[in-house]
Amino acid sequence: MGTTVFERQKPADSVIDAALRDTRLGVFWLDDVERVEHPPLAANLTTDLAIVGGGYAGLWTAVRAKERDPQRRVVLLEASRIAWAASGRNGGFCEASLTHGHENGVNRWPEEIDRLEELGLENLDAIEATVAKYGMDVDFERTGQLAVAVEPHQVEWYREEHGFLDEDAVQAEVHSPTFLAGDWDREGCAMVHPAKLGMELARVAVELGVEIYEHSIVRAVEGDGSGLIRLVTPSGTVTADAVALATNVFPSLLKRNRLMTVPVYDYVLMTEPLSASQLESIGWSNRQGLADSANQFHYYRLTADNRILFGGYDAIYHFGGKVRPEYEDRMESHRKLASHFFTTFPQLEGLTFTHRWAGAIDSSSRFCAFFGTARRGRIAYATGFTGLGVGAARFAADVMLDKLSGESTERTELKMVKEKPIPFPPEPAAAIGINLVRAAMNQADHNEGKRNLFLKALDAVGMGFDS
């Protein structure tokens, strides 16, 4: 096998040691936001709509439900704190794509891809409009996303794209010795502060009349004998006409969905704020989100106070598919990210990282969210966003509300919405298969991107894997 640029231009271990010496294991975004306390459920309630999950999908469902019908009583139950999981620890890339990129969408739904991309842009426009309408302080910057080639074979992947930048043009945008070309999608992505987005969605929801209860884990979903749905928590029950399940990576309350997603851990670093001279050394004046082009890719962006978030590459699955805090502390992955950071920006040697963290991604075999109903249409669900839920969660909220209404809409009639992904196998086959795929993707990255027969076979049956 060949080598990648991150191996050919590896920084000294002393650079990595110094950068990580005082780094805190914790989520920068959650440290950088003021929280509003919401009480736990402490009574038995009856409501029109109950929502399980206080991340983006649940919060958007709450907001959209009240925007559609201000008189509807809406109750949201969160097992821990608002936006504490994926919604508070992602990279803040709010992308228009509903299908995890054009290639994945066109391969799965070629007859719908044009409309799906239009709907995705309409959805991102609506998010931007909502931020403005409610005065949401979420550091929203619609700067687009620049995909960069860091190996010679990747340059050809972008040459026919309308946003193609050759080496001189991409270096004019951001100065990195690793950048050989790029593709700048100027409209299809915005940068946001993830935790602020969660807090502000909760604020707007409450102002619209939504009742939010934190520390109220739903242990069971039951029928009450009359067709209504009862959600059972340790300190009370909520009986509802309709229920939206937005539990993301956590085990589904519906047994049918237990094998439809797997939790894959993604790792992140955050730097200290860059000085004016450090910023000048890298350019990046247009503040786009950045992502490189390998199977195992990095994503990086600037924050409002000019830190650099640098994440991705490793995608770690743990046997049994559990979500556990101890999985977040993986120094091997954080050291690898630090090494790759200084390969990307060697001129920033001496910069330190203030935070390191990880989060579990709800990975589905089709790489994007799937939808459905249960209990004769009284329960709707959306999950499996596979890392692109920041923007797609709002679209998912509208799909769930459409489905709960019982009416046929353009959204509910999409094949992308009607179809389900192939489930993952149970253990031990899941762990064996996922780790074999990771090894094959790593091999492809070391072999000019050429996917072996194993990966091609999985792609053919819709069981590929995305890091």
The CATH number that applies at residue 164 is: 3.30.9.10
H or E segment at 312? Answer: strand 308-317
Same domain, 358 and 402: no
Residues 289 and 234 in one domain: no
Q: Does residue 336 lie in a domain region? A: yes
Q: Are residues 177 and 251 in the same domain?
A: no
In a domain, 279, yes or no: yes
**Residue 391 placed within a domain:** yes
Domains held by the chain: number: 2
- Please tell me whether residues 269 and 349 are part of one structural domain: yes
Per-residue pLDDT 10s for the chain (467 aa) are 689 999 999 999 999 999 999 999 999 999 999 999 999 999 999 999 999 999 999 999 999 999 999 999 999 999 999 999 999 999 999 999 999 999 999 999 999 999 999 999 999 999 999 999 999 999 999 999 999 999 999 999 999 888 999 999 999 999 999 999 999 999 999 999 999 999 999 999 999 999 999 999 999 999 877 889 999 999 999 999 999 999 999 999 999 999 999 999 999 999 999 999 999 999 999 999 999 988 889 999 999 999 999 999 999 999 999 999 999 999 999 999 999 999 999 999 999 999 999 999 999 999 999 999 999 999 999 999 999 999 999 999 999 999 999 999 999 999 999 999 999 999 999 899 888 888 777 887 887 777 776 666 666 666 655 44
Lookup: tokens for 54: 């206080």
Q: Are residues 310 and 408 in the same domain?
A: no
- One domain, residues 103 and 246: yes
What is the signed CA dihedral for 323, 327, 328, 330, rounded to 10 degrees?
Answer: -160
Do 380 and 283 share a structural domain? Answer: no
Quote the domain boundaries for residue 244.
45-131+193-260+366-418
Domain final residue pick, 401, 418, 435: 418
Shared-domain flag, residues 162 and 197: no
CA distance 320 to 314: 18
Give the span between the Cα atoms of 237 and 401, in whole angstroms: 22
Q: Is residue 28 part of a domain?
A: no
171 with 276, same domain: the answer is yes
Co-location of 83 and 202 in the same domain: yes
Is the same domain home to 278 and 350? yes
Cα separation, 318 vs 98, whole angstroms = 27
* One domain for residues 277 and 326: yes
The model's pTM is 0.96
In a domain, 423, yes or no: no
d(CA 404, CA 60): 15
